[in-house]
């Protein structure tokens, strides 16, 4: 007598879960497109399980990193030991090192996010010993040094 009752309870529970999974298509505030900026809108195409098996990416894509900012970052931060470099995403991660004539060690992470030679393309993060925050003026000075060196390199190359 107990077995049919358990089976009946199982089917009722499965039916309730199935109906709950088919919830209504109510638009929520996060679905409102006016909330997102032009560059933050989610893609209109939904992904499926079959996207795993298809290779739709273009194999001939180029690297979207500005070569002058990349080389200038490596030159300006050459006193820091390099831990990780990824030219395809534009990320340079360094270890701790002390600048020439300085007494405090720093660690840097650089991201170059755009092929344009623009200050907005360069994102720099500096950390002190133990992950301590670094003064914004110091970060700004290093960013300015990288941008200045990148401009010098571009001017030098345009004279060829």
pLDDT score, position 83: 95
Pick 115 or 51 by higher pLDDT: 115
What the block records as the tokens of 81 is 């030991």
Closest CA to 142 of 88, 92, 90: 92
For residues 23 and 17, give the distance between their C-alpha atoms in angstroms, rounded to a whole number.
Answer: 10
**Residue range 67-158 in CATH 3.30.50:** no
pLDDT score, position 135: 93
For residues 95 and 111, give the distance between their C-alpha atoms in angstroms, rounded to a whole number.
Answer: 15
Q: How many CB atoms lie within 10 A of CB 79?
A: 12
pLDDT tens profile 9-44: 888 888 777 767 776 655 555 555 555 455 555 556
pLDDT tens profile 120-157: 999 999 999 988 999 999 999 999 999 999 999 999 99
What burial class does residue 99 get, using C-beta atoms within 10 Å of its C-beta: 0-12 exposed, 13-18 middle, 19+ buried?
middle
> Taking the complete model, does pTM exceed 0.75, yes or no?
no
Q: What would the mean pLDDT of 52-64 be, rounded to a whole number?
A: 67
pLDDT score, position 117: 87
- CATH 3.30.530, the chain: domain bounds: 67-158
| Ranges 22-31, 70-79, 101-110: which has the least confidence | 22-31
pLDDT score, position 25: 59
């Amino acid at each position: 007598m107990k077995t049919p009752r358990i089976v009946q309870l199982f089917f009722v529970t499965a039916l309730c879960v199935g109906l709950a999974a088919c919830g209504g298509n109510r638009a929520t505030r996060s679905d409102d497109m006016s909330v997102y900026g032009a560059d933050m809108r989610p893609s209109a195409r939904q992904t499926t399980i079959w996207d795993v098996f298809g290779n739709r990416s273009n194999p001939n894509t180029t690297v979207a990193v500005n070569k002058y900012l990349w080389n200038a970052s490596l030159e300006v931060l050459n006193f820091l030991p390099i831990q990780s470099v990824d030219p395809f995403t534009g990320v340079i991660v360094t270890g701790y090192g002390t600048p020439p004539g300085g007494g405090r060690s720093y660690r840097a992470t650089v991201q170059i996010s755009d092929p344009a030679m623009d200050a907005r393309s360069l994102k720099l993060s500096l950390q002190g010993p133990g992950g301590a925050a670094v003064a914004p003026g110091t970060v700004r000075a290093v960013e300015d040094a990288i941008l200045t060196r990148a401009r010098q390199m571009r001017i030098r190359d345009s004279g060829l």
